[in-house]
């Protein structure tokens, strides 16, 4: 009998390398990749598109019961579709980015996302990246990592990608959020990627993952 799907949780600050390394780890293990930030962006995009007041918590909460979404897994990656549409480019616009922190801070939104994100195990073993995976979404997993880097290095990375973002302000909002704030979850391995290449970081993560997987196979 197969056991429960394995969940590898990768949390961390903006531009710390979460997405890059989560994708690389998932590919190396043959697991499915889940970007939870994209799910919040999808809701933010939808609210902007529907001209919903981003300060109206009740309106956004009501939207959660109305919008027609579906979890889809394609090419070993999970994402949300809305009315059958996957807004790949739209969720990366500046308007959507500005809306995300407001939408993500709403308790009802966090609760809705938690339910949906936990359903991702229907697709098998997953590597899930975000800001509260190890602390709120899958606190029971044995595979938890928290990636961080210096503010200067993270800012440099953002600029190299052509993105202008106040990371200090984003960090403040993430860590001071009332519901599911960004924290280093209990049992997580902290990895500072400031002076590491993606290859070096991925190698570190995989080394620990393989070690833990090997222990699981040992007789009790």
pLDDT tens digits along 113-170: 999 999 999 999 999 999 999 999 999 999 999 999 999 999 999 888 877 778 888 8
Q: How confident is the model over 71-84, as a mean pLDDT?
A: 98
| CB 82, CB 68: distance < 8 Å | yes
pTM for the predicted model, two decimal places: 0.91
Superfamily (CATH H level) for 36-122: P-loop containing nucleotide triphosphate hydrolases (3.40.50.300)
**Between the CA of residue 196 and those of 51, 66, 74, 125, 175, what are the distances in Å?**
42, 44, 30, 26, 24
Percent of the chain predicted with pLDDT > 90: 79
What's the pLDDT score for residue 2? 61
Q: In what order do the strands lie in the sheet with 126-130?
A: 69-74, 77-82, 32-35, 126-130, 7-12, 143-148, 189-192
Distance separating alpha carbons of residues 217 and 192, to the nearest angstrom: 29
**Range list for CATH 3.40.50.300 in the chain:** 7-31+125-213, 36-122
Distance separating alpha carbons of residues 180 and 175, to the nearest angstrom: 9
Q: How many Cα atoms sit within 13 Å of 187 on the Cβ side? A: 13
Superfamily (CATH H level) for 7-31+125-213: P-loop containing nucleotide triphosphate hydrolases (3.40.50.300)
């Amino acid at each position: 009998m197969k056991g429960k799907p394995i969940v590898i949780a990768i949390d961390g600050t903006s531009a710390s390398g979460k997405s890059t390394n989560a994708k690389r780890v998932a590919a190396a293990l043959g697991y499915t990749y889940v970007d939870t930030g994209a799910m919040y962006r999808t809701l933010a995009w939808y609210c902007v598109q529907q001209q919903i007041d981003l300060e109206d918590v009740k309106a956004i909460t009501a939207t959660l019961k109305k919008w027609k979404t579906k979890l889809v897994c394609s090419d070993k990656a999970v994402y949300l579709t809305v009315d059958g549409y996957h807004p790949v480019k739209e969720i990366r616009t500046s308007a959507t980015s500005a809306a995300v922190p407001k939408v993500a801070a709403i308790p009802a939104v966090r609760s809705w996302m938690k339910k949906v994100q936990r359903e991702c195990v229907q697709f098998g073993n997953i590597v899930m990246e975000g800001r509260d995976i190890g602390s709120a979404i899958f606190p029971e997993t044995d595979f938890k990592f928290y990636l961080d880097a210096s503010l200067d290095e993270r800012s440099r990375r953002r600029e190299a990608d052509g993105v202008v973002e106040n990371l200090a302000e984003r960090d403040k909002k993430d860590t001071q959020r009332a519901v599911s704030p960004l924290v280093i979850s209990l049992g997580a391995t902290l990895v500072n990627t400031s002076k590491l290449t993606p290859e070096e970081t991925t190698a570190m993560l995989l080394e620990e993952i393989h070690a833990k997987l090997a222990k699981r196979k040992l007789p009790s």
